[in-house]
Amino acid sequence: MLDWAVRDIKYLPGVGPQRAALLEKELQIVSFKDLLYYFPYKYVDRSRLYTIGEIDGNMPYIQLRGKVLSFETFGEGAKRRLVGHFSDGTGVIDLVWFQGLKFVTGRYKANEEYLVFGKPVVFNNRISVVHPEMETVGELTFSSLGLRPYYNTTERMKRSMMTSNAIEKLMNHLFQALQHEVFEETLSPRLVAEHHLMPLADALYNIHFPKTPDLLRKAQYRLKFEELFYVQLNILRYTKERRFKYRGYVFGKVGEAFHTFYTHYLPFELTNAQKRVIREMRRDMGSGRQMNRLLQGDVGSGKTLVALMTMLIAVDNGFQSCLMAPTEILAVQHLETITRFLSGMKIRVELLTGSVKGKKRETILRDLLTGDVHILIGTHAVLEDTVNFSSLGLVVIDEQHRFGVAQRAKLWAKNVCPPHVLVMTATPIPRTLAMTLYGDLDVSVIDELPPGRKPIQTLHQFDNRRPSLYAFIRQQLQSGRQAYIVYPLIQESEKMDIKNLEEGYLHICEAFPEYQVSKVHGKMKPAEKDGEMQRFLQCETQIMVATTVIEVGVNVPNASVMVIENAERFGLSQLHQLRGRVGRGADQSYCILVTGYKLSEDTRRRIEIMVRTNDGFEIAEADLKLRGPGDLEGTQQSGIAFDLKIADIARDGQLLQHVRGIAERLLEEDPNAERPENAVVWRRLLEMRRQQANWSVIS
C-alpha cells in the first residue's frame, strides 16, 4: 500500500481531530484513501442556469435563479407543509418543504435572490421542487466547475456543518495534497488498453470533479468495471479453490428406491423441467465433487418432489438426507407430503422440531445414529449439536433466505466430508444478481408448472368498491372455497392512513357473520400462529386475515382468493409471493389487489405488471429495475460482503456479464496466477481478500 493512502485523515488540511472523529464514526473514513473513495451520489450541472419558462416534466436536477415571493403553510400536524412561491420573471413554481419548516423560514427571506437546485416535478399542471437546496447568490464559488458533486452526509454531520459542500472542499484539499503522489494502477496494462479504460488516477479525479458529462461517464465506467471485475474474479477463483478442496461423496448409482418410486408410486408424470433438474443433480452428485446447487422454481412448480427424488438417490447409495424448513408448520407439511408419497415403501422418515421432545426425541436421535432413519425433516432444531447422523449425504434447505450462512455451515460438520447441498427458493432471482450473490452455487431452474394448472387471475380494485369485492368473496366461500385477506401492518401508523389488521379483522367479522375468521400476525407466539394456521388448513375457519407472515410456503389448496389490502405498500416480489398462496388446487383462483385511488407512477407500474403476468422471473427482473438490489430478499443474508461502492447491479447488469466473461478468460489463461502481466491483478485480489476475511463458506 502506498504511503499516502494510509495517512490519517486528521492530517488533511481542514480536517483536524474533531472532524476526523466525526468522519470515522459516521462514514468510516479513516485514511486519505478512504476519503478518496467516498464517491458523490449525484452531480448537478451548475454550468448552466435554467429558466422556469423552459421547465418540462422530464428534467434532471437543475439550477434556477430568482426570488421567493412569499411563504405559506398548509395543513395540520404531520401533514403540515411549507410552500414558497418562487419566481424568476419567466414564471412561478412552488418550493415545498415537509420538514424543517422553522429552519427554512428562519433562514430564507422573501424577496431576496437565491440559487435553487432541485428536480422539478409536474403535478396537476403545477411545477414544484420538493426540499430544494438553496444558496444566496453571493456564495457562488463554482464558476469554473462543470458538474458539481453531491456527497451523502448524516444528520449528525450536518449539525456540525459537515455538509456536502464541506466534503467537496475537503476533496479539493485532498487532490492538492496528492498532486505529486503516485496513484498505483489497479488493473493490468493489458486490461486497461484492451477495454479502453480511463487510467485510475484520471478516473478518481473525474469521479469527484468531472469537467464534462463525457469525462464523468468514462470515469464511472472505469471504476464500475474494476469493482465488478474483482467481485467476479473473487467468486470464480473461490469456487475453483473450493471444488479442489472439498471432495464429495459419490452417489454412483440410481437404484431400487428411486426406480420403485418412479415406476410404481409417482402419481403423475414429471414435467420436463423437473426431469432436467433431477438429471443435473444426478450428474453433480455422481461426479466426486460436492454438490452446491440452488434450485429456483416458482411456487407450485414442484420443487418438493424434486427434493424427494434426490433424497431417494441418497438412500440408494446408503446415505441419509435431511430436509430443513424455516418454520414448524412447513416442516410438518413436508412430512405429510413425503410420507404420503412414500407410503408403501420401506423408507423411514422422521420429523424433528423444537416440539418433538422426551422419549420420541431420544428414539429419533438414536435411530439417526444407527442409520435406521433415512430421511430427517425438521426446522433449525436439526442443527443442534445433539443431532448426529451415521452417514449424512444430502441436505436440502427449503426457502433458503430464512437460513443464515453460519447455520448452513453447521450442517457441513455433521459428516466427514461436507454433504451435498440443495438450496430451494421460490423467490426467483434475476440472473445477474444470482451471479453475484450465489456466484459459487450452480443454479437449476424449474421454469414450467405442472400441466392443468389454471393461471391465477389477478385484478386491481379501488378500495371504494368494497361491496362488489365482498360479494365476490362471498360467492367463492359459498362454493366451499376459502379466502385470505392480507394487510401490510399490524398497528396503525399515525402518518399513513392504513387500514390495520385489527380494524380489518373486526370489519370482516361483521361483513361475514356466517363464516369463521382466523387472524394471524407476526407478533403472535409461534405456537398460537401455527394453531390458527392449522384451523384454516382444516377449513374450520374460512377466512384468514393476516399480515405477511403467511408469505412463505404454507399450502392450503382449498383457498382460492387472495385479497391484498393496501397493495401499494407491498413490493413486487412480496405481492408475487402472496399471490402464490392460492392457485394450488384444481379450481380457478383469484388475486385481488386493493388500492386507494391516488397512485404513484411506480405503484401503477407494479400493479400493472402483477395483473399482466404470473411469471416469477419476469417479475423479479422488473422488481430489480424498480427497486434496486439492496432491498431484494437474500441480499442481506447472502453472506457475501455486498458493499459495492459505485456499480449498481440493477442498472449495470450488462457490464456485470461482460466483466464476468473477462474474469473467466483471465482465469483460464492464467490458472495458477503466475503470469507477470497479471501481477497487478493477483496482488489486488489478495489485498481484497485480506480485507474481507470472512468471505467464507456460502452454503
Residues forming contacts to ligand ADP in the complex (CB under 6 A) are: 268, 270-271, 274, 297, 299-305, 426, 450
The residue (of 449 and 520) whose beta carbon lies closer to ligand ADP is 449
* C-alpha cell at position 353: 422440531
Closer CB to ligand ADP, residue 191 or residue 456? 456
Three-state DSSP at 636 gives coil
Q: What type of residue sits at position 604?
A: R
**Phi, psi angles (nearest 5°) of residue 115:** -95, 135
Residue nearer to ligand ADP on the CB measure, 27 or 309: 309
CB of 301 to ligand ADP, least distance (A): 4
Nearer to ligand ADP, 303 or 579 (CB): 303
Nearer to ligand ADP, 231 or 273 (CB): 273
Nearest one of 441, 420, 468, 467 to 286, comparing CA atoms: 420
Please tell me the distance from the alpha carbon of residue 618 to that of residue 606, in angstroms, as a whole number.
Answer: 12
Sort strands 133-136 and 113-118 into parallel, antiparallel or unpaired: antiparallel
Distances (CA, A) of 459 to 477, 562, 613: 18, 10, 11
Q: Which is nearer to ligand ADP, 38 or 258 (CB)?
A: 258
CB of 444 vs ligand ADP, minimal distance in Å: 12
- How far is Cα of residue 318 from the mean position of the Cα atoms in its chain? 38
CB of residue 307 to ligand ADP, shortest distance in Å? 8
Any residues with CB less than 8 A from the CB of 568 and at least 6 apart, and which?
595, 596, 599, 600, 603, 606, 607
CB 592 within 8 A of CB 475: no
CB of 399: closest distance to ligand ADP in angstroms? 9
Task: Output 113 or 336, the one with its CB closest to ligand ADP.
Answer: 336
Closer residue to ligand ADP, CB minimum distance, 11 or 268: 268
Nearest residue to ligand ADP by CB is 302
126/275 with CB nearer ligand ADP: 275
Min dist CB 615 to ligand ADP, Å, is 15
Report the SS3 class of residue 309: helix
- The nearest distance, CB 478 to ligand ADP, in angstroms, is 25
**The residue to which cell 431400487 is assigned:** 256
Q: Residue 555 Cβ, how far from ligand ADP at the closest point, in Å?
A: 6
Minimum CB distance to ligand ADP, residue 578 (Å): 14
- The answer to whether the Cα torsion of 255, 257, 258, 263 is positive or negative is positive
Nearest CB to ligand ADP, comparing residues 246 and 262: 262
Under a CB-based contact definition with an 8 Å cutoff, are residues 552 and 399 in contact?
A: yes
The nearer residue to ligand ADP, 303 or 529, going by C-beta atoms, is 303
C-alpha cell at 550: 403467511
CA angle 575, 578, 581 (to 5 degrees): 150
Q: Least separation, in Å, of the C-beta of 501 and ligand ADP?
A: 26
Instruction: Tell me the closest approach of the beta carbon of residue 205 to ligand ADP, in angstroms.
Output: 52
Alpha-carbon 390 to chain mean position: 37
Q: Is the torsion defined by CA of 103, 104, 107, 109 positive or negative?
A: negative
Q: How far apart are CA 462 and CA 496, in angstroms?
A: 17
Backbone angles phi, psi at 446, to 5 degrees: -95, 105
What is the C-alpha end-to-end distance of the chain, expressed in Å?
A: 33
**Shortest Cβ distance from residue 619 to ligand ADP (Å)?**
16
- Angle, CA 465 vertex, CA 461 and CA 470 arms, to 5°: 95
Closest CA to 73 of 36, 104, 42, 34: 104
